[in-house]
Chain A
Amino acid sequence: MISVFSTIARYLLDVYYGARSVWSSCITAIPYLFSAGDFRKEVTEQYPDPISSRTADDLPPRTRGLLYNHIDRCTGCKECEKTCPTQCISIKADQGAEDAKLWVSKFDIDFSRCIFCGLCAEVCQPQSLVHTKQYEGAVYELTDLVASFGRGSVTNEQREKWASLRRAVESDEVFL
């Protein structure tokens, strides 16, 4: 049989343990107030803006920000369009004035669907599609989130005109 005194002692001991637990956790937290030690320093990555006195250039080198396409390097191979898991890239490439190169008339990236996975930039053979470090893409209209990098549609007359210009250059009729 457990005596009354041992029950009381057990009870008081439990109260003491409870108080000690609360107290010791309070003590443990004190170094955090002064950011003492490596594990207690703030590790929060702050939003780059004037308040945190950081700029977009301070972001890591492989930051996947908004996409940009260097259209003069783009071959219009549509690899990015095929690999995109969310089908946010839509490309229209026509036969251009030069036979060797396609005329990328439409290169739209819908950032409302883009998940910034980086697969498109990875497969881009001429490395024309790249991630910038820009990260602020908020707009008021959903349609404004579509970025267009295409050269625009070309009519047959224009195509003919450039083809004849190219022929003229090649046969030294026109000096550039």
Chain B
Amino acid sequence: MNELSGLSWSAAWRVALGLPEAAPQWLIATIGLICIYGLVILPSGWMVAYLDRKLSADFQARVGPNRAGPAGFFQPLADLLKLLQKETVQEWSWREGFWLGVHTMALYSTVAVLPLGSLALLVDTDMSAFLPFWATLVLALGTMLMGFSQGSAPGWFGGVRVAAQALAGAFPALVALLSAGLQAGGFRWSAFAAIQGGSPLHWTAFANPFQFLAMVVFIISGLVLLGIPPLDAGLSIPDLHGGVASSLYGRRLSLFQLGRFYGFFLWSVITVVLFLGGWILPAGLSVSLQEGGDWKWLQLLELVWLLAKTYSLMVILVWVARVNPRSRVDQITDFAWKVLSPFSLFALIGAALCAGWNVWRAGV
């Protein structure tokens, strides 16, 4: 098919980075992770943080950041620099060290499986779609420990809330993931790409109403699982003084916020890949570029297209979050168990029937 598809992921990266043949695998993996982190995730954090602040300012009839750079574009960078130079006063506790370990593990393990284009698939196995899912659970566990490590009432209550939300959101998210896998016939990233097309009509979300329902359930249960606004009861300011993040500041706060953004970004990317056409370019551009052998252009355009869809999804979620009040934690868990779970099962049954119908029709 193409000159790169037969090679292992490390070979594809080695060719892309222009490293010599003898380069060890760990070096390629490290450079790949740093590339993805520095070139995709951090700029995405910047972009979405900026859009979030500007949009929420608009919704509240405010001006928003406008001092750092043109229209305040460098505000996230300014915030980061300010947080980084803050002096640390508290000692590190072993729980916090554990949190840092879990956090780093979750972040790096999932960067490796992040689907960012047909050539940037570092790990493309039968379990690929599940790995980020478990990583979000690990992130939630780490956030809970983070809260417990502070030894304060907001930290304890925030940690318990984070754990309750993660447990409540995991089940519907998993069932919705199964629905998408049912349509694709597997959980490889490439399998999800293979059944979808560039036009929205060929996206899994619009294959049948059940898949659309599964997508909605998947997105909302991701918000519940990761505690993303407006479902962030574990970080509630009015009743918990910020919950698990109540006594975080400086470098720790920037690390924590980066982890939270990463969870949000990860979930949006997965939603786009599972339900919204992934990285497949519209108007058959993917096929023509593949046939032409323009690998660099192919990968670049795929990445841009995927990120454009991801940002759009994130902006929509920010929009919903900024105009709706934060939900109470018992209402969130109630909602996840009593509404999201039945609906996800309903979507799964419907999607299974649709898939069966398609198979039967193909047989006839």
- Interfacial residues, chain A to chain B (CB-CB below 8 A): 15, 18, 22, 25-26, 28-29, 32-33, 35, 39-44, 46, 51-52
- Residues A33 and B58 in contact in the complex (CB < 8 Å), given A22-B320, A22-B324, A26-B323: yes
Main secondary structure of the interface of B (DSSP, over half): helix
Q: How far is the CB of A55 from chain B (nearest CB, A)?
A: 17
**New A-B pairs, 10, CB < 8 Å, besides A25-B324, A26-B319:** A15-B343, A22-B320, A22-B324, A26-B320, A28-B323, A32-B60, A32-B61, A42-B61, A44-B62, A51-B66
A36 to B350, CA, bound (A): 43
The size of the chain B interface, using a CB distance under 8 A, is 16
Q: How many A-B contacts are there with CB distance less than 8 Å?
A: 39
Cβ-based interface call for B326 (8 A): no
Contact in complex: A44, B324 (CB < 8 Å): no
**B10 CB → nearest A CB, Å:** 45
B67–A25 CB distance below 8 A = no
Could you tell me the distance between the alpha carbons of A40 and B323 in the complex, rounded to whole angstroms? Answer: 14
Given A15-B339, A44-B63, A46-B63, A32 contacting B58 (CB threshold 8 A): yes
Report the Cα distance A46→B60, complex, angstroms.
16
Give the residues in chain B near A15, CB-CB below 8 Å. Answer: 339, 343
- Provide the residues of chain B in CB contact with A41, threshold 8 Å: 61
A28 surroundings in chain B (CB, below 8 A): 323
Contacts of A44 in B (CB 8 A): 62-63
> Interface residues of A: mostly helix, strand, loop or mixed?
helix
Q: How far is the CA of A32 from the CA of B59 in the complex (A)?
A: 5
Which residues of B pack against A, CB within 8 Å? 55, 58-63, 66-67, 319-320, 322-324, 339, 343
CB-CB nearest in chain A for B342: A11
A-B contact pairs, 19 of them (CB 8 A): A15-B339, A18-B339, A22-B320, A26-B323, A28-B323, A29-B59, A29-B322, A32-B59, A32-B60, A33-B55, A33-B58, A33-B59, A35-B61, A40-B61, A41-B61, A42-B62, A42-B63, A43-B61, A52-B66
Residues of B within 8 A of A32 (CB): 58-61
Give CA–CA (A51, B55) in the complex, Å.
20
Of all chain A residues, which has the CB nearest B58?
A33
Measured CA separation A40–B61 after assembly (Å): 6
Distance to closest chain B CB from A91 (angstroms): 40
Chain B contacts for A26, CB-based, 8 A: 319-320, 323-324
Set of chain A residues within 8 Å of B63, measured between Cβ atoms: 42, 44, 46
A146 to B61, CA, bound (A): 39
- The distance from the CB of A53 to the nearest CB of chain B, in whole angstroms, is 11
- In the assembled complex, the CB of B77 is this many whole angstroms from the nearest CB of chain A, namely 17
The distance in angstroms between the C-alpha atoms of A40 and B67, with both chains bound, is 22
Complex-state Cα separation, A26 to B66, whole angstroms: 25
Residues of A within 8 A of B67 (CB): 51
Alpha-carbon distance between A41 and B63 when the two chains are bound, in angstroms:
10
Complex: A26 Cα to B343 Cα, angstroms: 23
List residues of chain B with CB within 8 A of the CB of A43: 61
Give CA–CA (A22, B335) in the complex, Å.
14
Residues on A with beta carbons closer than 8 Å to the beta carbon of B58: 32-33, 35
B61 touches A29 (CB 8 A): no
Taking the nearest CB of chain A, how far is it from the CB of B44, in angstroms? Answer: 22
- Shortest distance from the beta carbon of B154 to any chain A beta carbon, whole Å: 27
What is the distance, in angstroms, from B88's C-beta to the closest C-beta of chain A? 25
Residue of B nearest to A32 (CB): B59
Question: Which chain A residues lie closer than 8 Å to B59 at the CB level?
Answer: 29, 32-33
Question: Chain A residues with Cβ under 8 A from B61's Cβ?
Answer: 32, 35, 39-43
Chain B residues closer than 8 Å to A33, beta-carbon distance: 55, 58-59
Shortest A82–chain B CB gap in Å is 42
Contacts of A25 in B (CB 8 A): 323-324
With the chains together, A163 CA to B169 CA distance in Å?
Answer: 90
Min CB distance A9 to B, Å, is 14
